[in-house]
Amino acid sequence: MDRNRSWWAFAGIAAMVGALTGIAAATFRIALSWLTSRRGQVVDWSHAHWWAPPVFVAACALATTVAAGLVHRVEPHAEGSGIPRVEAVVEGRAAPGRLRIFPVKYVGGLLSMGAGLALGREGPSVQMGGNIAVMVSKLTRRHSEQLRLLVAGGAAAGLATAFNAPIAGGVFVLEELLKRFDAKATVATLTASAAGFASAHLLVHDDNAFHVARLAQPRLSQAGWIALAGLLCGVAAVAYNRTVVLALHAADTSSWPVELRAALIGALIGVIALVAPQLVGGGDNLTQQALLGSGALAGVLGVLAVRWVLGVVSYAACTPGGLFAPMLVLGTHVGLAVGIVARAVDPTAPPPAALALVGMAAFFAASVHAPVTAIVLASEMTGTTSQLAPTLGACAIALTLALAMRQEGIYDLLTTRAARAARENELV
């Protein structure tokens, strides 16, 4: 009887963590959407006034400077995605952290992403969920093992709300953060994810995160093109992981002040926003466009190159902001490029939209080393199940290639960095 009550109590606390996280992540999402819309309006208005563009660029630089300053001077653990920090806590390699992570992540994320940095809201939502779990665990006096499981649950709720994908939120935490599927871990993550999704639905009434046209069932004769998409996504993901790590190493060893570096990056983003506003920000608009299968090869490759550089540079600003959404942009555009070439030489090749969807999952699987999450996420965000078989095959090929090239998952690499930073901060 006591054991049953203990299970119900734990599930209830996990639901509380999830519900609070859902509300926090939903308000964050709404505020960020409002800022993104206003940024576009200001860009349009700036073109009508000769003095406005420099002011806009200065405002972007100021916003990123303040965001970086908040992280650097108030709460260093709020830097970047936040998922590596949460993973380090779940693994017991870092202390749960201070409660001020939440406000710094929230405000800093709105400033940096509102200014147009090529970062995603998913990582910050995950870390805010983890920090909410720490608060609830302290209030309910949970022991360390349960605290870590609740942190994982909060992370699942954050991702579920950010992507409108409750199943993928739970699966990602089980596969990537916890790396196990035992009963308690499953209860914590799935309960919190469901509660977070439900509470967020009170504020955000979205359908699927992305929309795709009706895609025909794939044929076996198309397997070669799917394999090629998987191979190229694997190569691209390995290169991306290494580029991100190199950029962070350069930032860590730079003698430039953090705020100055962030200001320069913010100014660069501001200039690009004035010229090509569709290329800045999280990139959901670009992912959506790619999933429709439209575009010329030169344009697709151009977007891929620009977003690659912007994503890496934005992450090196060390402001709050995640890698999830930028990775989806890159994956869809690699797949779309393959699809455009395929259709040009082979009329029976898969539609470009189908290969864009496959590429999104394959790139994620190879970069993060979480193929199950990649498949579930791609299906749940688009509401499409007709491409499950090619997605599975491409993910397997992309991940195998990444492993053969001895490339660690991006969050494993960043978790080691986060754990090292946590130890250094504890020694100071």
pLDDT tens across 168-191, in order? Answer: 999 999 998 888 878 888 888 999
Model confidence at 3, in pLDDT bands (50, 70, 90)? low
Residue 412: Cβ-neighbour burial (10 angstroms; 0-12, 13-18, 19+): middle
Bridge partner list, 206: none
**Which residues of the chain does CATH 1.10.3080.10 include?**
2-201, 220-420
Bridge partner list, 322: 120
DSSP per residue over 9-44, as a string?
Answer: HHHHHHHHHHHHHHHHHHHHHHHHHHHHHHHHHHHH
User: Which pLDDT score is estimated for 315?
Assistant: 95
Segment 276-300 mean pLDDT? 95
Q: What is the pLDDT of residues 297-350, one digit of tens each?
A: 999 999 999 999 999 999 999 999 999 999 999 999 999 999 999 999 999 999
CATH for 220-420 (3.40.50.300, 1.10.3080.10, 1.10.1740.10, 3.30.1540.10) = 1.10.3080.10
pTM: 0.94
Please say whether the structural domain 2-201 has been given the CATH code 3.20.170.30: no
Q: How far is CA 299 from CA 98, 176, 306, in A?
A: 45, 34, 11
Closest CA to 233 of 89, 361, 101, 115: 361
Q: Are 61 and 271 in contact (CB under 8 A)?
A: no
Q: For 261-408, where are the E strands, in sequence order?
A: none
One-letter amino acid for residue 155 of the chain? A
Which tokens hold the place of 255?
């003698």
Residue 5 has pLDDT above 80, yes or no: no
How many angstroms separate the CA atoms of 428 and 421, rounded? 11
Segment 396-419 mean pLDDT? 92
Residue 127 has pLDDT above 60, yes or no: yes
